[in-house]
Structure 1
Amino acid sequence: MCQVGEDYGDAAPEGPPPPRPGRELKCVKCKEGPPVVVIRAGDAFCRGCFRAFYVHKFRAVLGKNRLIFPGEKVLLAWSGGPSSSSMVWQVLEGLSRDSAKRLRFVPGVVYVDEGAACGQSWEDRAKTLTDVRQILQTLGFPWHIVTLEEVFALPPSVLRCSAQDPVGTVETYKVAVDSFLQQQRTLAAEGVRGSPSSAQGEEQPSQPCTQDPQDPVGPPPAAQTEALSQLFDSVKTLTAKEELLQTLRTHLILHVARTHGYSKVMTGDSCTRLAIKLMTSLALGRGAFLAWDTGFSDERHGDVVVVRPMREHTLKEVAFYNRLFAVPSVFTPAIDTKASEKASIHRLMEGFLLRLQAQFPSTVSTVYRTSEKLVKAPRDGCAAGPRCLLCMCSLDVDSADSATAFGAQTQDFSQTPAPTPRAEAGAPAGPCCAAGPGGAPNCWQGTRPCGREGSRAHVIEQLCYACRVNMKDVPCLEPLPPYILAEAQLRSQRYGPAPQIQEYLVNSDDEAPASGSGALGPPEQEGKEARAACGCINKNFFN
């Protein structure tokens, strides 16, 4: 009979379990070390080979494009997340004395505090900033901590594309490298800073920090925090909030780079994030600007170029590297934290691609490789034309698209001004323009334009198609930062009077021909016809 304590199974084998079929027992690179990381099926790396593989990817992207010249100031946009933290760590190791091929640019770090847009209290933000300062102190780079509320103090010049230097060729890059090395040899020979390695190694710690790490970062003005909260509370959808947050963050980083003399900005966009961004941009109507949004370099701002050196690394590789080599990072809740998958287009595309990647491991790489084939060739007449007020790309709404459904929608949307908040509320309309100096109407109240009817249309007509769609979820444009409204008013005043004075301008077809041609100009032709008509009338009346 069956007993309660009786064992009917075979005895368990002692020792480690036998290896599964197909499992790698050695590193695929060196064939010696035990594997600790499996990146893809059949690609198992040991610790040393994985580090060499990871570093080579980062260096190869920079060396292939050759956009960062020796001695150039580069601003590292650090958000505290895994990808940007890994990027900063790669730059730190590339500038160390133990590096085989050292990086030759001068880095700086910027951190943007977005806690007010995410609804965090100042106490929670202060704790996060304390952790951020502790990490930045260990880097030895110049660092800048800015809050998102500072966008309400930006000048309108941030939205203007400055003059861009011509892109250097391969020969120009080689000449710059040779000149830099010759300068280092000269300094070493003169004994000013010793050897080239020590000269460059001592240059980084000697640079002053732009913010004293000992002084605590005080809270921003309460009025700016309230204005920022009011702005994001007025946006209806999470998709529009994420796009607006990204736009304001880009403007703020661009202002910091221009203020402190940085000509390049590095972001930590990984391969996975760029694939998600490509699909999201297509869904949002930004298909004309995919090459700028997902490419290695983004030259839309002119004097400041945005580069993405982490675009060859997947999120899986970044997570493994940060775990194995203890790369410090700071967790900060984002605006879409704890949101459902269908809360925004960004979350929906992210879940869609990650589920496909789990079933088909080549999904992310296929989408990413597609972005590499995109060419930055705008349509004729768009390169030097007006730019979008928010994303600063060339306007993709013109009369050439009027025969398509896309052109019809954008044309109707741009020509139909939305009702003002005063009209929607049913309040009595009063005079919006006060009398200025000399009795002229003054359409400014402080730094904001007046709320006259049609002010929304002036802003909307200066946006690209994707930004116009996002602005549909912003019922009132008054909470926008003053620099955006001021630049919109300036552009409207600059291009607005042209149709009014068009009838008074002399047309080239009406000009008189050159002397000696024998042809009669339009006034002479009119006089001849008038004399002939008068002669015909006199003949009929008096004969």
Structure 2
Amino acid sequence: MSCSNPQSEVKDPGADIPERRTKPKNNQCIKCKTAAPVIQIRHALYCRECFVYATSGKFLKWFLSNFKPNDVHPVFYVAVSGGPSSRYLLQLLHTQMSPRKGKGSFIRPGSAEKLVVIYVDQSKVVPGAENLRNHIEDMVKDFPSVEIIEADVSESWRGSQASISAYLSGQPGQPPSATASEPTADLFDSTLSTSSQESHLALLTHNIILREARKHADSLLGKDSTAPLFLGTSATRVTIKLLSSMSRGRGWSVGSGEVQPESTQYGLNVYQPLLNTSSKEIAYYNRFAIPAHSQAVVNRSFTTFSPPKSSIDRLTEELVVSLERGFPSTVSTVARTGNKISFAGETKEGERLCTLCGWPARAKANEWKNGIAITKLAGEEDESNPLADMLCYGCYTNLTDSRARSHVNYALPGWTDEYAEKQKVTESEMRKEIEDCLIDDNDNDNE
């Protein structure tokens, strides 16, 4: 007997409602009022020249609001994947690094003496992906002063002698392997969910970029010096990230800097200047303004040529793109709303950080999950679970994937030790927290 509902004869009242697609009333460029338009951005039409001018002007306005025109920085760090967004960001930063004419005969100097490109190779993790180092060299070969730092995803385990092993489901993890590639393969091979694999890869890539920039800044500028780091996250991508992060259980830390235009991480000033620029604008700008020999390259991902339901990110992307097609202001509205979200947890001095992702975490998220889900069978003995207590809900869910094996048994990246040490409360700190409740020994003697 089938459990499905029978076919209903009641028609969906919204089935015949057409898509809401606003068409401009005139067929002229909104800027010059003379040329024929070639692209529609939201509810406005642009010709080719006006579109390039308006798009680059949007970035220039943001840049001048954060950097003084006559200041020259020693270095700019920029994370580059080789895709359209990072290629767009490189092109615009190049215009600001070159000397440009000011008022009268004044020549403004370049905003930075050097550009350091950080590229993380994912070809050893993602099936079918390529190393894009040669393509990135073609993109920056005309830049005045540039350095490329190439890192691999396996860098997360390198240089760490005792990273914490995953001890989440009752069985201690194995000690870290001697080579860096084995823990990398073990982490991704043991994670069967594509959504968790994408989350792991994004987390590792972000932390590697921050650490490589921090290490280079320490050697170039001195220890604990500040430097700007640019990330090419577009409005479309941050909309997808915002919705998918909340779907994965990362809503607690969504306002802590991951979707913010400006934040401070690892002592670096992290900027995301493309949060008001959609992927459509970026694609057309690259087509109109960038030479063919240095165009962006789209690399393979875990969900390339996969159906929308293959992962949370892929399904969210399908939803956002389909909504943007009918309602052109969807991406800009969600992205601007995400920019206004602020973290409402503990103060910055006392906030808890997840030992894996480094973002603010709710205390003992694993206990909350155990209260709403069956995580072990009856009769199993309770064992200490120190690592799970220091993870945020999103990372804990990814590591204990319901489709994965029952005992999580692999080494975690080396920075988990660093984050774990920060969470330990010393005896003096504990005494300071409860000093108001303690009775002084001198008071007892007086009595």
Task: Quickly name the TM-score band, shorter chain normalised.
Answer: 0.7 to 0.9
User: Could you say which residue in structure 2 is the equivalent of 1:323?
Assistant: 287
Gaps of 5+ in 1: 1-20, 160-220, 399-405, 425-452, 521-543
Deviation digits for residues 221-240 of structure 1 (CA, Å, limit 9, x no counterpart):
99433432222011121111
Output aligned runs, 1:257-268, within 5 Å: 257-261=213-217, 263-268=227-232
Q: Is the 8 A contact 1:158 1:255 kept in 2?
A: no
Whole-Å separation in 1 of the counterparts to 2:40 and 2:92: 21
Mark the CA change 1:263 to 1:114 in structure 2 (over 3 Å): closer, same or farther.
same
- Aligned counterpart for 1:308 among listed residues 268, 272, 275: 272
Deviation digits for residues 372-401 of structure 1 (CA, Å, limit 9, x no counterpart):
32234x334564233111221222226xxx
Q: Amino acid of the residue matched to residue 250 of structure 1?
A: H
> So what's the TM-score if we normalise by structure 1?
0.62
1:66 CA drift (Å): 4.8
Q: Amino acid of the residue matched to residue 324 of structure 1?
A: F
User: Could you say which residue in structure 1 is the equivalent of 2:57?
Assistant: 56
Output aligned runs, 1:120-519, within 5 Å: 120=128, 125=130, 128-139=132-143, 140-155=145-160, 223-261=179-217, 263-291=227-255, 292-299=257-264, 301-326=265-290, 328-376=295-343, 378-381=344-347, 383-397=349-363, 409-410=368-369, 454=384, 457-473=385-401, 475=405, 478-484=409-415, 486-487=417-418, 490=421, 494-495=424-425, 508-509=438-439, 511-513=441-443
Q: Is the 8 A contact 1:119 1:229 kept in 2?
A: no
User: Could you say which residue in structure 1 is the equivalent of 2:8?
Assistant: none
Q: Which has the higher helix share?
A: 1
Deviation digits for residues 174-225 of structure 1 (CA, Å, limit 9, x no counterpart):
xxxxxxxxxxxxxxxxxxxxxxxxxxxxxxxxxxxxxxxxxxxxxxx99433
Q: Amino acid of the residue matched to residue 188 of structure 2?
A: F
Q: Is the 8 A contact 1:268 1:308 kept in 2?
A: yes
**Secondary structure at the counterpart of residue 337 of structure 2:** helix
User: Could you say which residue in structure 1 is the equivalent of 2:31?
Assistant: 29
Gaps of 5+ in 2: 1-22, 103-107, 165-176, 218-225
User: Could you say which residue in structure 1 is the equivalent of 2:3?
Assistant: none
1:250 CA drift (Å): 1.4
Whose relative contact order is higher, 1 or 2, with alpha carbons under 8 Å and at least 6 apart?
Answer: 2
Name whichever of 223-232 and 342-351 sits farther off: 223-232
User: Once the two structures are aligned, what percentage of the paired residues are identical?
Assistant: 25
Mark the CA change 1:380 to 1:341 in structure 2 (over 3 Å): closer, same or farther.
same
Structure 1 moving runs of 4+ over 6 Å: 156-159, 416-419
Q: Amino acid of the residue matched to residue 281 of structure 1?
A: S
**Secondary structure at the counterpart of residue 258 of structure 2:** helix
How many residues align structurally?
Answer: 384
**Secondary structure at the counterpart of residue 387 of structure 2:** helix
Mark the CA change 1:111 to 1:348 in structure 2 (over 3 Å): closer, same or farther.
same
**Secondary structure at the counterpart of residue 115 of structure 1:** coil
User: Could you say which residue in structure 2 is the equivalent of 1:111?
Assistant: 119
1:278 CA drift (Å): 1.2
**Secondary structure at the counterpart of residue 443 of structure 2:** coil
Mark the CA change 1:28 to 1:255 in structure 2 (over 3 Å): closer, same or farther.
same
Q: Is the 8 A contact 1:265 1:307 kept in 2?
A: yes
User: Could you say which residue in structure 2 is the equivalent of 1:38?
Assistant: 40
Q: Amino acid of the residue matched to residue 273 of structure 2?
A: P
Mark the CA change 1:345 to 1:102 in structure 2 (over 3 Å): closer, same or farther.
farther
Whole-Å separation in 1 of the counterparts to 2:125 and 2:437: 52
Mark the CA change 1:347 to 1:130 in structure 2 (over 3 Å): closer, same or farther.
same
Whole-Å separation in 2 of the counterparts to 1:330 and 1:138: 18
1:482 CA drift (Å): 5.0
Deviation digits for residues 50-109 of structure 1 (CA, Å, limit 9, x no counterpart):
111001111222333459964152211000110111000101122223465765134211
Whole-Å separation in 2 of the counterparts to 1:509 and 1:314: 61
Q: Is the 8 A contact 2:157 2:413 kept in 1?
A: yes
Q: Amino acid of the residue matched to residue 384 of structure 1?
A: G
Q: Amino acid of the residue matched to residue 104 of structure 1?
A: S
**Secondary structure at the counterpart of residue 305 of structure 1:** strand
Q: Amino acid of the residue matched to residue 238 of structure 1?
A: T
**Secondary structure at the counterpart of residue 293 of structure 1:** coil
Deviation digits for residues 458-483 of structure 1 (CA, Å, limit 9, x no counterpart):
22111122222222126555433451
Whole-Å separation in 2 of the counterparts to 1:386 and 1:28: 49
